[in-house]
Structure 1
Amino acid sequence: MAAAVDQDSDLDSWVDIDPDNPANSSDDDAGVRSLSSGRTTPDCCSDDEHLGDLALSSRRRSRAPSPPSPTTTAPTTSTTSPTPSYASFDPIRSWSEKVLVPDPSFSACNESVTVLASTRGLVCLRANASGNYIVANPATYERVRLPRHACDHSAYGDPAVVITFENAYTCCDDHRDHYHVVVAFPLGDGVYAYESFSSRTWEWTVAAGVDAVEQVISASGVGALGRAFWRTTLGYFLCYNPAAGAATLVPAPQEVLDWPYWELGCMDNTLCVTCMNELVKSVAVTRLQLETSEDGAEVFNWSFGSYFEGGCLRNRRGVELLRSQGPEVVFWDPNLELVFAMDTEGRTTRTIGPLSGRQYYSDFIPYVSSSTGITR
Structure 2
Amino acid sequence: MDFSSDEEWTVLDAKNPADSSDDDHGVCSLPSDCSDLDIDVSDHDYTDSDEEISSGADEDDEMADEEDPYEVDEDEPLSAARLSRPLSGMFHHTPWDSVAYAAFDPLRAAASAKRLIPDPAFAVFPENVAILASARGLVCLRGAKSGLYYVANPATFRRVRLPVHQRDHRLDADPAVVITFEDDDASASRKSAATGDIAHYHVVVAFQVDDGVWAVESFSSRTWEWTIGGDICAPETVIATSGVGALGRAFWRTTIGHILCVTPETGCVDLIPAPHEVATRPHWEIGEMEGNFAVACADHEFREVAVLYMVPASATDIQWAWAGQFDGHKAGCHAGMTLLRSQGAAEVVVWDSVPELVIAMDFDGRQTRSIGPLVGGNYYTDFIPYVGSESEIYSEEVGAVFMTVDAVTFRVPQAAVKEEAED
- What is the TM-score with the length of structure 1 in the denominator? 0.82
What are the Cα deviations for residues 104-154 of structure 1, in whole angstroms up to 9, with x where unaligned?
A: 111110311000000111000000100000000011220110011011111
In 2, Cα distance between the equivalents of 1:342 and 1:372?
26
In 1, Cα distance between the equivalents of 2:126 and 2:241?
25
SS of the aligned residue for 2:100 comes to coil
Cα displacement (A) at 1:346: 0.3
- Assess if the C-alpha contact under 8 Å between 1:236 and 1:251 holds in 2: yes
Cα displacement (A) at 1:235: 1.2
In 2, Cα distance between the equivalents of 1:229 and 1:108?
31
| 2:239 aligned partner | 217
Aligned partner (choices 276, 284, 296) of residue 262 of structure 1: 284
Aligned partner (choices 341, 353, 365) of residue 346 of structure 1: 365
SS of the aligned residue for 1:288 comes to strand
- 1:206-355 matches, cutoff 5 A: 206-292=228-314, 297-310=315-328, 313-314=331-332, 316-325=334-343, 326-355=345-374
Q: Does 1:102 align with 2:118?
A: yes
Which amino acid counterpart does residue 147 of structure 2 have in structure 1?
G
Q: Which runs of 5+ in 2 are unaligned?
A: 1-9, 51-83, 396-423
Q: Which runs of 5+ in 1 are unaligned?
A: 1-13, 53-70
Cα displacement (A) at 1:269: 1.2
SS of the aligned residue for 1:278 comes to coil
More deviation in 161-170 or 318-327? 161-170
Q: Does 1:44 align with 2:45?
A: no
- Which structure would you say has the larger RCO, counting Cα contacts within 8 Å and 6 or more residues apart? 1
**Which of the two has greater helix per residue?**
2
| 2:72 aligned partner | none
Q: Does 1:163 align with 2:179?
A: yes
| 1:79 aligned partner | 92
In 1, Cα distance between the equivalents of 2:278 and 2:184?
32
In 1, Cα distance between the equivalents of 2:172 and 2:19?
40
Cα displacement (A) at 1:97: 4.4
- Assess if the C-alpha contact under 8 Å between 1:103 and 1:138 holds in 2: yes
In 2, Cα distance between the equivalents of 1:37 and 1:222?
31
- Assess if the C-alpha contact under 8 Å between 2:16 and 2:101 holds in 1: no
In 2, Cα distance between the equivalents of 1:177 and 1:47?
18
| 1:122 aligned partner | 138
More deviation in 270-279 or 217-226? 270-279
SS of the aligned residue for 2:204 comes to strand
Which amino acid counterpart does residue 73 of structure 1 have in structure 2?
P
More deviation in 125-134 or 34-43? 34-43
- What is the TM-score with the length of structure 2 in the denominator? 0.73
In 2, Cα distance between the equivalents of 1:139 and 1:20?
15
Which amino acid counterpart does residue 86 of structure 1 have in structure 2?
Y
Cα displacement (A) at 1:175: 2.8
Which amino acid counterpart does residue 319 of structure 1 have in structure 2?
M
- Assess if the C-alpha contact under 8 Å between 1:164 and 1:179 holds in 2: yes
Q: Does 1:15 align with 2:7?
A: no
Q: What is the alpha-carbon root mean square deviation over aligned residues?
A: 3.0
Which amino acid counterpart does residue 133 of structure 1 have in structure 2?
Y
| Structure with bigger gyration radius | 2
In 1, Cα distance between the equivalents of 2:235 and 2:98?
31
- 1:361-376 matches, cutoff 5 A: 361-376=380-395
In 2, Cα distance between the equivalents of 1:20 and 1:210?
40
Identical positions, percent: 47
In 2, Cα distance between the equivalents of 1:121 and 1:344?
24
- Assess if the C-alpha contact under 8 Å between 1:267 and 1:327 holds in 2: yes
